[in-house]
Amino acid sequence: MGQGRVARGIALDRQARRGLMLTAPGTLYVALMVLGPAALAVAYSFWTQTYVTLDRTPTLANFREIATDPLYRTLILRSVIVAGLVTFLTVLLAYPVAYYIAFHVYRRKALWLLLVSIPFWTSYLLRVFSWKLVLGYNGVLNSALIWLGVIDKPLEWILFDVNAVVLTLTHAWAPFAILPIFVSLEKIDRSLLEAAKDLGEGPFRAFFRVVLPLSMPGVIGATLIIFIPTVGDYVTPALVGGSEGAMVANLIQVQFGKANNWPLGAALAICAMLCVTIAALAAAALLRFLGRRIR
């Protein structure tokens, strides 16, 4: 028995060494390329820059500027609100599709999943660009409606603004919502539904008390995977946001480009990241709470 334990200890040790060795390249690479730059960005955010000279005296000046200038606050707030709205709409619109594929498609599941995920593999830039063609005062949609005689003059609500940003992003993120929700729905033991039925639950109650709570992990996954990157989206506000739709990523880009104030840009990036983290944690906690509550 003692021998067996020793042999096992050695085997574990060998496994552990193998595992660590094989994951080392990836872990080191990602750590170097994510944690290293993040540490540098934090350092930069406490420095200041006048024209081309970098002053390395630590100061809170950048953060003070962000806290007091209403422009920065507006853009950060708008980014979080837009991302929240996009996430909510995407999950809400995608849930029935995921539900349909999981529970009502039997033989062509793979085909449906492929159809849903194909748009994701076309260039993100081009997908957003196609909305730039569709929307707008003289865009495809307005010109088509006028040509067909549906309207006399261009619709005003499809101008380039925050609404256009929300619409475009909701379109862009669709597959990210469908797939995780589908996976969690697919995992649900079908006999639970029969049990609910046998116990006298109507289909609606069975859905809200069995299916929805059990699919919460997928909803939470989709929420995080959409919300976090959307806060930092650059392309969509730049292409269809117009002057009123800019978000924090556009502001960060300006600091690293035209304005050439890297420390301020770094501070903005860090503030955005903090807001994202707090909002994402809050959203996940809320969804988990709701999932437990309705059960």
Q: Considering only the stretches 64-72, 84-92, 269-277, 286-294, report the one whose residues sit in contact with other proteins under the rule CB under 8 A.
A: 269-277
**From candidates 188, 234, 287, 290, binder to other proteins by CB under 8 A:** 234
CA-based nearest residue to 206, from 189, 219, 193: 193
From the CB of 16, what's the least distance to other proteins, in Å?
4
Task: Pinpoint the alpha helices (H) of the chain.
Answer: 2-30, 36-45, 61-68, 70-104, 109-121, 124-134, 140-147, 162-186, 190-198, 203-206, 212-214, 216-231, 235-240, 248-256, 262-294
Q: Total residues at the site for other proteins (CB under 8 A)?
A: 88
Q: Among 22-30, 63-71, 179-187, 282-290, which window interacts with other proteins (CB under 8 A)?
A: 22-30
Min dist CB 130 to other proteins, Å, is: 4
Footprint of other proteins on 235-264 (CB under 8 A): 235, 239, 249, 252-253, 256, 262
Residue 286 phi, psi (nearest 5): -60, -45
Beta carbon of residue 12, minimum distance to other proteins (angstroms, whole number): 7
> Which of 6, 7, 10, 33 lies at the binding interface for other proteins (CB under 8 A)?
33
Q: Roughly what angle, to the nearest 10 degrees, separates helices 61-68 and 70-104?
A: 80
Closer CB to other proteins, 102 or 216, in the complex: 102
Q: 269 Cβ partners below 8 Å, 6+ apart?
A: 41, 45, 252
Type of residue found at 249: A
Looking at beta carbons only, is 292 or 294 nearer to other proteins? 294
Pick the piece of the chain touching other proteins (CB under 8 A) from 2-10, 68-76, 107-115, 181-189: 107-115
| 158, 179, 220, 269: which one binds other proteins (CB under 8 A) | 269
- Residue 23 makes contact with other proteins by CB under 8 A: yes
Contacts of 65 (CB under 8 A, 6+ apart): 72, 264, 267
| Residues of span 189-218 touching other proteins by CB under 8 A | 202-204, 207
Among the listed residues 213, 217, 232, 291, the single contact to other proteins using CB under 8 A: 232
| Cα 39 from Cα 189, distance rounded (Å) | 45
Q: What is the distance of C-alpha 32 from the center of its chain? A: 24
One-letter identity of residue 14: R
Cα(222)–Cα(174) distance, integer angstroms: 10
Phi-psi group of 59: left, alpha or beta (phi > 0 → left; psi -120 to 50 → alpha; rest → beta): beta
Ranges within 76-105 binding other proteins (CB under 8 A): 93-94, 96-97, 99-101, 103-104
Per CB under 8 A, the list member of 12, 71, 278, 282 interacting with other proteins is 12
Least separation in angstroms between CB 198 and other proteins = 16
What residue type is assigned to position 173 of the chain?
W
- Pick the binder of other proteins from 165, 169, 174, 210 (CB under 8 A): 174
Minimum distance from residue 73 beta carbon to other proteins (Å):
18
Q: What one-character-per-residue DSSP string does 91-133 give?
A: HHHHHHHHHHHHHH--S-HHHHHHHHHHHHHS-HHHHHHHHHH
Question: Which residues in 114-173 contact other proteins (CB under 8 A)?
Answer: 114-116, 118-119, 121-127, 129-134, 138-140, 142-144, 146-148, 171
How far is Cα 46 from Cα 37, in angstroms, rounded to an integer? 15
